[in-house]
Amino acid sequence: MRILIVEDDRRLAGVLRRALAEHGYAVDVAATGEDGLHLAELEPYDLVILDVLLPQLDGYAVCRRLRALRRNMPVLMLTARDAVDDRITGLDSGADDYLVKPFAFGELFARLRALLRRGGPFQDPVMRVGDLEVNTASREVRRAGKLIELTSKEYAVLEYFVRNPNRVLTRTQIAEHVWDFDFVAMSNVVDVYVHSLRRKLGDDTEPRLLATVRGMGYRLRAPRV
């Protein structure tokens, strides 16, 4: 999952970025409302964490412009303003949730998981595709009941597949959702991670759960019901 943080407090933005990266998220940071709006227009972010008190454009204006542009990714407003009227203004501007500073990181991650579930086909924290189970709360992965140990990036790649079952995902789409702007593109990095996932999932023989679509990318095969 790829997240945009729009926050002018460099220290807080850095702490947030490190914490999210440790949990396997790809993270970009913008320090002004204008820069945040520009990035959100260009990139396919899964979620935006948006401060209210920003230079150039405040968070309310950024959120309203995103919605006017039909950019419908979930938006979590993160701000020191805790008055009821401020929360109402934030939600009415198009935000999906509102978290007041200071906050506990456990609550932040729980809200992020809830927002990401809300925007997709899986409302339960445990996503199932065939005999594969991915628990987005504990980040545990099981296949046929067996626990699979994955690195944070392997988990991020797999979660993106599971959120898009039976959909062909190009290497570019996968890279854009799992790595941030600091990532130096490598022609075979997605292939390396898919190969590693196949090995760990016991998916080295046909018919594979992670299928190669020649000339296009990969697809997670979900059983038809």
Q: How far apart are CA 176 and CA 179, in angstroms?
A: 6
Tokens standing for residue 119: 């925007």
Q: Work out the angle between the directed axes of helices 59-68 and 84-92 (0-180°, nearest 10).
A: 20
**Fold designation for 126-220:** Arc Repressor Mutant, subunit A (1.10.10)
pLDDT tens digits, one per residue of 114-142: 898 775 555 567 889 989 999 987 889 99
pLDDT tens digits, one per residue of 89-99: 888 999 999 99
Residue 101, pLDDT > 70, answer yes
Q: How far apart are CA 6 and CA 168, in angstroms?
A: 31
The overall average pLDDT reported for the chain is 88
pLDDT tens digits, one per residue of 150-194: 998 899 999 999 989 999 999 888 888 888 766 655 568 889 999
pLDDT of residue 193: 93
For a pLDDT cut of 90, what percent of the chain falls above it? 54
Q: How far apart are CA 48 and CA 72, in angstroms?
A: 10
What is the second-level CATH architecture of the domain 2-118?
3-Layer(aba) Sandwich (3.40)
Q: How far apart are CA 33 and CA 63, in angstroms?
A: 10
pLDDT of residue 157: 92
Q: Which residues pair with 146 in a beta bridge?
A: 143
C-alpha count within 13 angstroms, C-beta hemisphere, residue 33: 17
The ranges assigned to domains in the chain are 2-118, 126-220
Whether the domain at 2-118 and the domain at 126-220 fall into the same CATH topology: no
Whole-angstrom Cα Rg for the chain? 18
pLDDT of residue 124: 67
Residue 64, pLDDT > 90, answer yes
Beta-carbon contacts of 131 under 8 Å, excluding residues fewer than 6 positions away, are 143, 144, 145
Q: 16-21: list long-range contacts, CB under 8 Å, 24+ apart.
A: 16/49, 19/105
